[in-house]
Copies of this chain bind each other. A is one copy, B any other.
């Protein structure tokens, strides 16, 4: 029997796709492997006749595609984001191969929303986009020609996912990581707090936030833990506020 195994909890997110034909071919690749949920961040042309032509029967995937204005909109409700990368990155996120990663994706998708995030045809994910991922995946390729077509990459990943879904055996779920917007809420809160307390005066804020993002991506905090972390931030700000007030008082005296 063909097992879907909650593939409906998995969305494919294509960011800033240039060629509409690739969107259609990706939709066809997805549908053939049992995936149906397509999200498009600022596609250059969509809907488009070329997308429909290449979808070749996967029109329903295109019709139900969600067009988003930002990555955060596309990842709304998502708990695990898997970023596809054509290269080893200079950041400390571990990069795994599809065969190792997709069984984990299937397991998470039993109960949670998962996003598979693909960058543009020319340059892949931006560092900003990759930093939204808790897991990075690289399709091993010929080192002399590692240029996979976008739809071909979607095909390989969807295929691995489908095989993993067929072979899935339920295991005890120990961790209940927080959803994307909760994590982002925390990251914004953290950045704002670090500004307020003057932490960034001797630091490069963007670079520091990237490092902190990585750290929390590895930790995969649960919703309760996010609340605790934000509680700490709130108290920090209040404390800082009290200090400032006292300083002001003393100066005024």
Contacts and interface: CB of A to CB of B under 8 A. Distances in A.
Number of copies: 2
A140 interface: yes
A32 B99 contact: no
B99 A28 contact: no
Most chain B CB within 10 A, of A28, A148, A159, is at A159
Nearest to A167: B99
A58 interface: yes
Nearest to A148: B32
A58 B159 CA distance: 23
Given A99-B163, A152-B155, A33 B147 contact: no
A25 interface: yes
Contact of A163 (B29, B140, B146, B151): B140
Contact of A142 (B25, B31, B140): B31
B25 A145 contact: no
A54 to B, nearest CB: 8
A228 interface: no
A143 interface: yes
A145 B4 CA distance: 13
Interface string A122-146: 0000000000000000011111011
B159 A139 contact: yes
A85 B99 CA distance: 23
A137 B144 CA distance: 28
A176 to B, nearest CB: 30
A43 to B, nearest CB: 20
A149 interface: yes
A145 B29 contact: no
A91 interface: no
A223 to B, nearest CB: 34
Interface in A149-188: 149, 151-152, 155-156, 159, 162-163, 166
A231 interface: no
Given A28-B147, A28-B152, A32-B148, 11 more contacts: A31-B145, A32-B141, A32-B145, A32-B147, A33-B141, A57-B145, A58-B145, A99-B163, A140-B162, A152-B155, A156-B156
6 nearest A-B residue pairs (beta carbon): A34-B142, A152-B155, A31-B145, A32-B141, A156-B159, A32-B148
